[in-house]
Amino acid sequence: MYFPLQDIEAAKLNIDDPEHLRIHSLETFGTHDGPGIRMVIFVQGCQFRCLYCQNPDTLDVRGGTMVELRELVNRAIRQKSYFGDTGGVTVSGGEPLLQRSKLLTLFKMLHEEGINTCLDTNGRLNNAQVHDLLEHTDLLLLDVKHINDDIHHKLTGLTNRATLELAAYRESTGKRMWLRYVLVPGWTDQEQYLEEWAQHFSDYKTVERVEIIPFHQLGQHKWKLMNMEYPLKDTPTPSEEIRQMALGIFNKHFDNVILK
């Protein structure tokens, strides 16, 4: 571990104001995180420590800016005409589930305005509060970072158990989800585990789409700016051969696989 996980109690102390969301940044015309044109709210704070994290500046649960939920809804309303039939608001991160009760309020407010909601999460928690939030989440974007728990632990600092349980829960509700997989040479490109990952979800009826996101080095400067040692600084982007291998395996199990 290259810097310590912040404990949950400390996180709670910083997220107890129910009217304000702790955010890192906002994107007004996002097209990468969910369908259509979306306002993307990147929240601050994450308990994973992915070796390949491209946004290490979102990790600290004490950082970011507190923004009123009403202000976020008003911004979404001003943008609503651009959302069309498929767009809306996505909450990404950092890790949104750390602020789940506020997001439940936010998503309810957005639904009252007829705005589509999308949650991009690593699935770190699977409990009743999260289930309530998922009731108001039109589309779940779930990042399943590795199917093997030992490797998942080495890659992210934590187990994949809750993520897999949350996927199974979402499937049981019949509500839509997209699965996301970051393809990292030497870490997540083993044929055996790609096959296992795909088999694990191949019978799921709610998975509308699987996205393969090739690792890149665009976040490297952020690690430097934060004076943190970047463990994957020498890792290359996946070759065309590796990309096609992953795509071929996933295509055997899912109807709609997108290599980004």
Q: Which stretch binds ligand SF4 (CB under 6 A): 4-12, 47-55, 111-119, 196-204?
A: 47-55
CA dist 171 and 131 (Å) reads: 12
Half-sphere exposure of 157 (CA within 13 A, CB side): 16
Site for ligand SF4 in 64-103 (CB under 6 A): 93-95
Query: 67 has which bridge partners?
Result: 21
Residue 55 binds ligand SF4 (CB under 6 A):
yes
Residue 48 binds ligand SF4 (CB under 6 A):
yes
Chain-centroid distance, C-alpha 189: 20
Q: Which of 23, 50, 103, 134 binds ligand SF4 (CB under 6 A)?
A: 50
Site string for ligand SF4, 109-138 (x = CB under 6 A): -------------x----------------
Closest distance between ligand SF4 and the C-beta of residue 157, in Å?
8
Q: Which stretch binds ligand SF4 (CB under 6 A): 55-63, 69-77, 103-111, 243-251?
A: 55-63
Cβ closer to ligand SF4: 58 or 116? 58
How many residues bind ligand SF4, per CB under 6 A? Answer: 12
CA dist 3 and 15 (Å) reads: 22
Report the interface residues with ligand SF4, using CB under 6 A.
Answer: 46, 48-50, 53, 55, 58-59, 93-95, 122
